[in-house]
Structure 1
């Protein structure tokens, strides 16, 4: 498949927006249905939605998206679900990074187009795990690829929750090949690792990047199934844990664990670096950071 791939870009961008709408509705539904347990007397949380914009170096329009953030709900302390479609010319540093990864054609034509969804949820109840999910499509005149995945970040781990999260992802990936889930799980374990702490950020999930099998339809279908796996993997865990009582020790553990999350996203995360380096809305890029965190 060669440039410009206008139809494929439009389909990918529309899918990320559709997935965003499904998740926003599901999360507001969790807020509405929380009638037992801590914070049930708060008003149900709702997403504040704002448009984001990106401008090129000369000030011209370079795309944008929607930033949807909920704060201080019954269930979610802070959750962001962002979608964007941006385009323009890669700067020198981004060109060098992609050339180092083997992306063809960057030196001769540094134009790019990228679309995706990015989600991070930090929960009120420490028994409820934090979670991250993103999927994206990237295009240059010389190549296209997909990337993304999701991973679970509990501060108080329940083995059965971890097992459910992974089993749901495995089931959604099974139609794409029996070997795929083990490979993407291993990739997530390697990617979501904090070298300076010598530990994982959470309990893992699935992750891929630079996915180009040569069959755009197959890779797009895989990316969609990664997105479709998210709600059934995550929502039952929240429904199970949100009624549990918690106190100061659990909150302390949560805040310390969030410190790990912040360290990873600011130091290592490729998406954070790309978003800031290419001039996207900084608030949208840093939406992943928790509202409160603590270091010991």
Structure 2
């Protein structure tokens, strides 16, 4: 296999864009079919699409993507679906972190990188309908490549049957590739999405994986595609079940407090947020995950 993996990069980047298009279409259709509840009389939500670019003085650093955000819809209070493909050279701080975490001692001598992925976060109007996060990505350097990502559910009002249904879809798609994947990646999500200063998880979990390189690029890419394919059936089923549930002001207050927890995690611990800002990507796109409104007690 060539060191630059040009064809593989192009395939991965195209897939993330295709998945983005499918999700945007499905979410706008969900808005169209919301015909009851307090926001039914509002115009159906639509995504505003903005091209994003990296902010770098080095011309070898380039790339960008699409930031697609819907605000104030019937179902979604705020949802973002971003895709990006970026490349260039990693700064010294990012090189050191990459070398330490990935075991890539050659990063200092050749700090080139390429990364592509999709990132999604949805914050809902109805407090009974859970927030959700999903991302998948491919990362390349001259010293190695890997995939990562996952999907996790973040309800402020938990329903055991919703958690079970969401996890069942994740497990089904993982089992198609390796029966060890779901228990392994579920445990990883439980650890990764834990908030130490609060002593709790930010939601009810899902799956999370990183550094996936079995030595078979096509196999790992196929799995990453299935993680993306699992998202809509896992999330839409729960959303359609809860989107018409009546709620109270106390329910909304509970939702806003939970969003504060979500914001704390993304700003303090999330590696994707840190990497996006450190590599000069559009800060509005990087911080798209933050809720439109939140509250702290």
TM-score range, shorter chain: over 0.9
Q: 2: distance between equivalents of 1:57 and 1:98? A: 22
Q: How many angstroms apart in 2 are the aligned matches of 1:33 and 1:105?
A: 53
Instruction: Report whether the alignment pairs 1:167 with 2:168.
Output: yes
Structure-1 separation of matches of 2:100 and 2:143: 15
Native 8 Å contact 1:38 1:125 kept in 2: no
* 1:56 aligned partner: 56
Q: What are the superposed Cα offsets for residues 44-72 of structure 1, whole Å, 9 maximum, x if unpaired? A: 00000010001433356600000000000
Q: How does 1:73-222 map to 2 (within 5 A)?
A: 73-101=73-101, 102-222=103-223
Count matched residues.
296
Paired residues of 1:2 and 1:141 also in contact (CA < 8 A): no
Q: Secondary structure at the match of 1:243?
A: coil
Mapped contact 1:38–1:243 kept (Cα < 8 A): no
Q: Distance in 1 between matches of 2:13 and 2:69?
A: 20
Aligned CA RMSD, in angstroms, stands at 1.0
SS of match in other structure, 1:235: helix
Q: Distance in 1 between matches of 2:9 and 2:295?
A: 41
Distance (whole Å) between structure 2 residues aligned to residue 210 and residue 104 of structure 1: 15
2-side partners of 1:61 and 1:40: how far apart? 45
Q: How far off its partner does 1:228 sit?
A: 0.4
- 8 Å CA contact 1:212, 1:219 repeated in 2: yes
Instruction: State the match for 2:291 in structure 1.
Output: 290
Q: Runs ≥4 in structure 1, deviation > 3 angstroms?
A: none
Partner of 1:26: 26
